[in-house]
């Protein structure tokens, strides 16, 4: 029970099973590459991200080729984010895209769930 004046947050979906998506994308210039298509009528939910960029470039994920970019990092090297219990997800039938602001190679794993 939270103390008076404190907010209680509930984390859900901890036991939900994710599917690892292997990423190995080379960008010669700024752009977005389609990396995952959901089943018809389903949404993609991002559960965890572990990536590495070969160069200093803005790297992010988006749910359409021109949609809002969820930025991950801006300098080369590894980066990880655990989103278990959080829900960054697209709308039904939206593809997941990897975005880079310039030339680089991005490798890693993105854990996803179709909902």
Class (C level, CATH) for 25-114: mainly beta
Which residue has 């990396």 as its token pair? Answer: 35
C-alpha angle 34/35/36, rounded to 5°?
A: 105
- Whether 13 has a pLDDT exceeding 60, the answer reads no
Q: Convert the pLDDT of each residue in 20-70 to its tens digit.
A: 999 999 999 999 999 999 999 999 999 889 999 999 999 999 999 888 998
Backbone angles phi, psi at 9, to 5 degrees: -100, 140
Residues 23-52 as b/e (b if ≥16 CB within 10 A, e otherwise) read bebebeeeebeebbebeeeebbbbbbbbbb
The enclosing H or E element of 2 equals none
- Residue 59: per-residue pLDDT: 93
Cross-strand pairs, 106 = 25, 53
């Amino acid at each position: 029970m939270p103390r008076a004046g404190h907010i209680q947050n509930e984390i859900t979906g901890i036991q939900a099973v994710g599917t690892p998506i292997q990423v190995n994308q080379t960008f010669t210039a700024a752009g977005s590459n389609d990396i995952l298509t959901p089943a018809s009528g389903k949404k993609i939910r991002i559960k965890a991200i572990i990536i590495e960029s070969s160069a200093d470039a803005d790297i992010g994920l988006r749910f359409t080729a021109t949609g809002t970019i969820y930025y991950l990092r801006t300098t080369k090297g590894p980066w990880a984010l655990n989103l278990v219990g959080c829900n960054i997800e697209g709308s039904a039938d939206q593809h997941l895209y990897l975005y880079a602001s310039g030339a680089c190679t991005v490798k890693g794993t993105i854990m996803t769930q179709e909902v």
